[in-house]
Amino acid sequence: MSAQKPSIPKGTRDFNAEVLAKRYYIFDTIKKVFVKYGFQPIETPTLENLSTLMGKYGEEGDRLLFKILNSGDFLKNASQLTDYKKLTYEISEKGLRYDLTVPFARYVVMHQNEIAFPFKRYQIQPVWRGDSPQHGRYREFYQCDADVIGTNSLVCEAELIQIYDEVFAKLGIPVTIKINNRKILQGLSEVIQAPDKLIDITIAIDKLDKIAWEGVEKELVEKGLSVQACEKIKQFISLNADDLEYFFEENEIGKKGAEEIRTVLHLLKNIETVNQIEIDYSLARGLNYYTGCILEVKAKNVKMGSIGGGGRYDDLTGFFGLKGMSGVGISFGADRIYDVLEELQLFPDLSGNQTKVLIVTFDHENLLYAMPILRKMRDFNIHAELYPEPTKIKKQMDYANKRRIPYAVLIGSEEMQIGKLTFKNMVTGEQEKLYAEEIMQKLMN
């Protein structure tokens, strides 16, 4: 039988050490800011019950969920079903998590008696979506989330905006932090007398930067909105803050949304931020569970979708039996942030995390001599390796070059006899005889 050609699923990736060093740099930068603002870490399972996930993200989200087939003879009765949703539940009870927010709501309900509210948590874990893979969009990717649950205070929104500002300032990425409010969008649906079309309107408007107004209008008409309603939506998108008051003159929910945005910006009035904060009435965020302020982050100087987003959700825990528990959260798109840092060449030199020196030996006796030297180097926090077998020197040196290890220490019978080791700079080729302590001092400096 011929060997199978290895492959991985579309939209997933392997990561080598160099890439992972850059990814960990992003995660560590975000994590340090989360901790500084008082957020605590949690983790939830990769698998969730499908009943936990379905119906929380809208029709499109349900479609993109990765569902896991039940084990056993599950098709015996399922083959009789023609209804997609009934069939799904018959053959699949679990799915891969689509985001970190719904599992977080489930976690809060299950652990409510152990939690001190308001509860501030952060979570850095992978999620999965059956999307069409493309640049900046993957089927498996990491989210870095921070949420506060158990308070209605808009101070939380102001703090989350500051977290966005600080993280992207530390990463060196100039961004625009956009803010809107789902109550404003709800008010819009009422003004155009189509409150039942709120989800259709938000999903369509959310694609404005991808398909332009013509594409949005086409989608809205297909969903049953009139040409006059579409014109009103187009007018709304181009409004400034002053015009908003007039637009919602007779609509209370729209006024409430505008007032909440003003409050958040007022809380930030005396805070100096590095990045631009901008009201964007076309901002919708596609997820159905948002009910208040919504946020999105766009990188400047690079063509990329949002690299962060979030918002307020008033009753997500209500799905799991805990009513009236308001929360708000943000997410960093780590994979897109990576692509932006790469494209703008903003990653710092991370070579300090790699092996700094390789010990090369000629025979078994040299190897035994090298072992305590290697241990002492590591005790001084020098990243050091010993080639595990005293093979040909060329092979050991090729290993050092392929690994980009900048220094080598050669130990042969002569080195053992005089106590001085050969210390070689792998970049310049220069070498000198030094005592082990002198080599360690050089490597530490």
Contact at 8 Å (CB) between 282 and 205? Answer: yes
| 182 annotated to a ligand binding site | no
Provide long-range contacts, Cβ within 8 A and 24+ apart, for 210-213.
210/305, 213/237
| 290 annotated to a ligand binding site | yes
With CA atoms as reference, report the closest residue to 34 among 189, 166, 153, 133.
Answer: 166
| 396 annotated to a ligand binding site | no
| 97 annotated to a ligand binding site | no
| 99 annotated to a ligand binding site | yes
Which ranges of 380-420 does DSSP label H, i.e. alpha helix?
A: 393-402, 413-418
Cis peptide before 388 (omega within 30 of 0): no
- For residue 376, give the 3-state DSSP assignment: helix
Query: What does the buried/exposed string (b/e) look like for 216-242 if buried means 16 or more CB atoms within 10 Å of the residue's CB?
Result: bbebbeeeebeeebbebbeebeebeee
| 280 annotated to a ligand binding site | no
| 228 annotated to a ligand binding site | no
Q: Decide: residue 138, CB within 10 A, 0-12 exposed, 13-18 middle, 19+ buried.
A: buried
Which ranges of 54-154 does DSSP label H, i.e. alpha helix?
A: 58-64, 75-78, 84-91, 101-110
Contact at 8 Å (CB) between 12 and 140? Answer: yes
DSSP summary character for residue 206: T
Feature table: binding site: 99-101, 129, 143, 147, 285, 289-290
Feature table: binding site for L-histidine: 99-101, 129, 143, 147, 285, 289-290
